[in-house]
């Protein structure tokens, strides 16, 4: 569910459900994301899953049926949290599980999500989620790579940052996102800045020539060369 259109001029809102809300303090308070929040382009709300627990000890997990190590997030607090946050929008906006079992996050997914006005992210912990959350509540499941980290918090920050770059007004220069690696299926070309000669390592002459046609040609060629060398899979090579 990546194409729920937002109205012109509206911001994108992220609601994040987690048992470690304090992890998001630095993320939301610095850099591009913080500036976008301050400008009211992006809205971010962090929800403590324990606030939706019916247990007097605010417990949100339990042992897995059938035995095995670790704990599993219970369905009740997660369903209650999402339904409370989303209300009448349930079924019309993305409810995303951050999980190593999800589809790998890429630029296409991030760009698609940026067309939504509201996204809910659920951060897993322990051994994961009760399967009913996956099958009866979530609309999508996203992974940031083929490895396991302690929880979905860091993964949700990666997704939000990637999505936000496609939201108009977030970046100082909107061309930046269009020229990033993967935006056209290729890795980005090399960059250089002053000085032109650093310890004998010189900037390619074409970049200081002032000939923008040749500069663009050089950048395109270097982008292809870098992709072939580092990520041939992007070009369909094994």
* C-alpha count within 13 angstroms, C-beta hemisphere, residue 186: 17
The backbone torsions φ and ψ at residue 107, rounded to the nearest 5 degrees and listed phi first, read -65, -35
Active-site hit among 80, 180, 188, 222: 180
Burial call 70-108: b when 16+ CB within 10 Å, e when fewer: eebbbbebbbebbeebbeeeeeebbbbbbbbebeebebe
Catalytic residue status for 88: no
Catalytic residue status for 43: no
Catalytic residue status for 180: yes
Euclidean distance between CA atoms 84 and 179, whole angstroms: 39
Active-site hit among 15, 100, 134, 141: 100
Catalytic residue status for 165: yes
Euclidean distance between CA atoms 183 and 111, whole angstroms: 9
Active-site hit among 61, 134, 153, 165: 165
Euclidean distance between CA atoms 131 and 119, whole angstroms: 21
Euclidean distance between CA atoms 142 and 160, whole angstroms: 12
The catalytic residue positions are: 100, 127, 165, 180
């Amino acid at each position: 569910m990546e194409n729920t259109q937002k109205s012109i001029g509206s911001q994108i809102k992220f609601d994040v459900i987690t048992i470690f809300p304090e992890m998001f303090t630095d993320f939301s308070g610095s850099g591009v994301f913080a500036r976008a929040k301050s400008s009211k382009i992006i809205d971010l709300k962090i929800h403590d899953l324990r606030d939706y627990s019916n247990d007097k000890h605010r417990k949100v997990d339990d042992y897995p049926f059938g035995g095995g190590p670790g704990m599993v997030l219970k369905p009740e607090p997660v369903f209650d949290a999402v339904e409370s946050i989303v209300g009448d929008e349930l079924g019309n906006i993305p409810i995303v599980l951050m999980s190593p079992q999800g589809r790998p996050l890429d630029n296409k997914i991030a760009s698609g999500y940026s067309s939504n006005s509201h996204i809910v992210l659920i951060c897993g912990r322990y051994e994961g989620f009760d399967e009913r959350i996956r099958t009866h509540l979530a609309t999508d499941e996203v992974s940031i790579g083929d490895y396991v980290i302690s929880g979905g918090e860091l993964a949700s920050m990666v997704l939000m940052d990637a999505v936000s770059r496609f939201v108009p007004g977030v970046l100082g220069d909107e061309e930046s996102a269009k020229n990033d690696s993967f935006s056209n299926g290729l890795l980005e070309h090399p960059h250089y800045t002053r000085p032109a000669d650093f310890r004998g390592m010189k900037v390619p002459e074409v970049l200081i020539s002032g000939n923008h046609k040749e500069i663009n040609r050089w950048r395109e060629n270097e982008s292809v060369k870098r992709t072939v060398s580092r990520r041939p899979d992007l070009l369909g090579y094994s």
